[in-house]
Chains A and B, each alone.
Chain A
Amino acid sequence: MSLPDVDADVLVAGGGAAGLVVATRLALDGRSVAVASSATPATSLSTGRVLLDHDDPGAEEWASFFLAQFRRQGAHYVMSKRPAVAMTNLGTGMKQSLTSPLFDWTSKDRDVAVVGLVGNGDLDPDLVSLEMGRSRRAKPRPYWFSPSFSPELDPGGFAEELGGALMNDVAEGTVVLPPLPHSTPYGFLAELRKRSGKKVVEAATPLSWPGRRLQTLLEGTAERLGVQVLRDRRLLSIDVNGREADRAFLSSGVRTQRVTFNGLVLATGNVVSGGLAVSGRGVVDPLGLFRVSSARASGISSGQLRATLSSGLVTRRGKAVTTNGVSLRNVFAVGSLLRGMSYPLGRGLGDVMVHAWETAPAVEEAL
Chain B
Amino acid sequence: MPMRSRVEVLIIGGGATGTGIARDLAMRGVEVVLVEAGDFAAGATGANHGMLHSGARYAVNDPMSARECTVEGEVLKHIARFCIEDTGGLFVSARDDDEGYMDRFLPACREAGIRAREIDVAEVLGTEPGLDPGIKAAVEVPDASIDPFFLTLGNVGSARAHGAIVMNHAPVRNIRRSGRRFEAMIGGKERITADVVVNAAGSWAGETAAMLGASIPMCVDKGTMVVFNGRLVGRLVNRLRPPSDGDILVPHRTATILGTTSSAGAPGAPATSAEVERLIVEAAAVYPGIRTARAVRAYAGTRPLLGGGSTGRKATRTFQVIDHGPDGVDGLISVAGGKLTTFRLMAEKASDAVMEKLGRTARCRTADEEIAPFDDEPSSLFDLEAMRYRRGRSEGVSLAPACGCEAVSRGELELQASSPDVMDMGDLMRRTRAGMGYCQAGLCAVSMASAIGAGTKELRRYLGERWKGVEPVLFGEQLRQEAFKAHLMKVYSVDHTEAVE
Contact = CB atoms under 8 A, between A and B. Distances in A.
Given A92-B493, A131-B456, A343-B487, A272 B480 contact: yes
A272 B442 CA distance: 13
B410 A272 contact: no
B402 A301 contact: no
B490 A344 contact: yes
Contacts of A236: none
Interface residues of A, number: 39
Given A130-B455, A281-B474, A281-B475, A42 B487 contact: yes
Contacts of B483: 270-272, 305, 308-309
A94 interface: yes
Nearest to B476: A278
B443 A207 contact: yes
Interface stretch (A54-62, A121-129, A255-263): A121-129
A253 interface: no
B79 interface: no
B408 interface: no
Interface stretch (A16-24, A65-73, A83-91): A83-91
Given A90-B446, A207-B443, A301-B495, A281 B487 contact: no
A166 interface: no
Contacts of A204: 491
Contact of A305 (B454, B474, B492): B474
Interface string A24-46: 00000000000000000010011
Contact of B475 (A205, A271, A278): A278
Given A119-B398, A121-B450, A343-B487, A278 B456 contact: no
B486 interface: yes
B447 interface: yes
A159 B490 CA distance: 33
A127 B491 contact: no
B487 A126 contact: no
B477 interface: yes
Interface string B465-481: 00100010011110110
B254 interface: no
Contact of A300 (B400, B450, B495): B495
A47 interface: yes
B453 A88 contact: no
B116 interface: no
Contacts of B498: 301
A352 to B, nearest CB: 13
Main SS class of interface, A: loop
Interface residues of B, number: 36
A39 to B, nearest CB: 14
A120 B130 CA distance: 43
B471 A134 contact: no
A280 interface: yes
Contacts of B487: 42, 45-46, 206, 272, 343-344
A304 interface: yes
Contacts of B402: 121
A264 B497 CA distance: 36
Contact of A131 (B398, B455, B480, B484): B455
Interface string A88-101: 11111010000000
A272 B447 contact: no
Contacts of A168: none
B453 A127 contact: yes
A47 to B, nearest CB: 6
B12 to A, nearest CB: 35
Nearest to A94: B491
A271 B450 contact: no
Interface in B362-403: 398, 400, 402
Contacts of A88: 491-492
A241 interface: no
Given A92-B493, A300-B495, A127 B486 contact: no
B482 interface: yes
B490 A127 contact: no
A324 interface: no
Contacts of B497: 300-302, 305
Interface string B429-471: 0000000000000010011011001111001000000010001
Given A90-B455, A91-B455, A119-B398, A278 B480 contact: yes
A299 interface: yes
Contacts of A42: 487
B410 A121 contact: yes
Contacts of A46: 487
Interface string A270-314: 111000001011000000000000000001111011001100000
B479 A281 contact: yes
Contacts of B490: 343-344
A271 B449 contact: no
A162 B164 CA distance: 49
Nearest to B445: A90
A301 B400 CA distance: 33
Given A42-B487, A89-B446, A270-B483, 10 more contacts: A47-B491, A121-B400, A124-B450, A126-B453, A127-B453, A281-B479, A300-B497, A301-B497, A304-B474, A344-B486
7 contacts: A45-B487, A91-B456, A92-B491, A204-B491, A304-B474, A305-B482, A308-B479
